[in-house]
Amino acid sequence: MTHPENSQESGRPSLERDALQPPRIADALTALSARWGWFLAIGLILLVLGLIAAYHVFTATLISVLTIGILILIGGIGQLIQAWRIKQAGGFLLWSISGLLYAGAGLVAITNPVAGAAMLTLLLGATLIGAGALRLWLWFNNRAQPGWRWLAFSGLITLATGILVAVGWPGNSAWILGLLLAFDLLFQGWTLVLLGYALRARQQR
């Protein structure tokens, strides 16, 4: 015959395991459903900002450059602080040079955002060309494997986009970063709007 004390003790580990388990996805979605309005509101705000950025694309480019410049400057200052903190441990010169380069690039982008836009646009084109070439190289080395044609297609698109950016430089530096910012805001806004409506539909079930 099982004693009540034994049954209670045997049930304790199970309760402890349930308490330690992470919340289920369904429970998380249920909690988020009560806040569907926030997702919808933020999504609409981002959509409006995206439309404004698309209309004033040059201003959006300058805002993008200033934001990136501030972040780069903060990163450079952080690296200089780190260089002085490890001054006795070695690596001081390397951290100092890296921090000065970062801080200098950030100051250039902040004080002369037009030149900063040209620099960042050229860097974007070079990055796209490098990424596209890398994907094509990976596809070429694995072309016998099934499903790798999509990697080749992605590499060609990325490489072609990078070449177009590089060919149009520096004339396209006045609008390309702002256009990317507008697309990003519109995409994020539309995603949040759809997510808000989906959470609302889940709450109304």
Examine residue 9 and state whether it is found in any structural domain, yes or no: no
Instruction: Determine the Cα–Cα distance for residues 180 and 157; give it in Å rounded to an integer.
Output: 16
Q: With a cut of 90, say whether residue 14 has pLDDT above it.
A: no
Q: With a cut of 70, say whether residue 23 has pLDDT above it.
A: no
- pLDDT value at residue 71: 92
Residue 73 tokens read as 């400057």
Q: pLDDT digit string (tens) for 81-94?
A: 888 877 766 667 77
Q: With a cut of 90, say whether residue 48 has pLDDT above it.
A: yes
* pLDDT band at residue 29 using 50, 70 and 90 as cut-offs: low
- Sequence-distant (≥ 6) Cβ neighbours of residue 48 within 8 angstroms: 189
Examine residue 4 and state whether it is found in any structural domain, yes or no: no
Instruction: Determine the Cα–Cα distance for residues 184 and 196; give it in Å rounded to an integer.
Output: 18
Q: With a cut of 50, say whether residue 18 has pLDDT above it.
A: no
- pLDDT value at residue 25: 67
More confident residue, 91 or 49: 49
Examine residue 3 and state whether it is found in any structural domain, yes or no: no
Mean pLDDT computed over every residue of the chain: 81
User: What are 136-139's contacts with CB under 8 Å, separation 24+?
Assistant: none
Mean pLDDT, residues 110-126 taken together = 89
- pLDDT value at residue 15: 44
At position 3, the amino acid (one-letter code) is H
Examine residue 162 and state whether it is found in any structural domain, yes or no: yes
Tokens 């620099």 — which residue? 119
Examine residue 10 and state whether it is found in any structural domain, yes or no: no
Examine residue 177 and state whether it is found in any structural domain, yes or no: yes
At position 20, the amino acid (one-letter code) is L
- pLDDT value at residue 86: 72
- Sequence-distant (≥ 6) Cβ neighbours of residue 154 within 8 angstroms: 135
46-85 burial, b at 16+ Cβ within 10 Å, e below that, comes to: bbebbeebbeebeebbbbbbeebbeebbebbeebbebbee
Cα-Cα-Cα-Cα dihedral sign, residues 97, 126, 61, 179: negative
- pLDDT value at residue 27: 64
Mean pLDDT, residues 38-51 taken together = 91
Q: With a cut of 90, say whether residue 45 has pLDDT above it.
A: yes
Does the pTM surpass 0.75? The reply is: no
Tokens 């004339």 — which residue? 171
Q: With a cut of 60, say whether residue 106 has pLDDT above it.
A: yes
- pLDDT value at residue 3: 52
Instruction: Determine the Cα–Cα distance for residues 136 and 153; give it in Å rounded to an integer.
Output: 8
164-182 burial, b at 16+ Cβ within 10 Å, e below that, comes to: ebbeebeebbbbbbbbbbb
Examine residue 28 and state whether it is found in any structural domain, yes or no: no
Give me the domain span that covers residue 148.
36-203
Residue 94 tokens read as 């390397």
More confident residue, 40 or 204: 40
Strand segments, DSSP code E, in 20-141 are: none
Contact 132, 166 (CB under 8 A): no
Examine residue 15 and state whether it is found in any structural domain, yes or no: no
> How many independent structural domains does the chain possess?
1
Q: With a cut of 90, say whether residue 47 has pLDDT above it.
A: yes
Q: With a cut of 60, say whether residue 99 has pLDDT above it.
A: yes
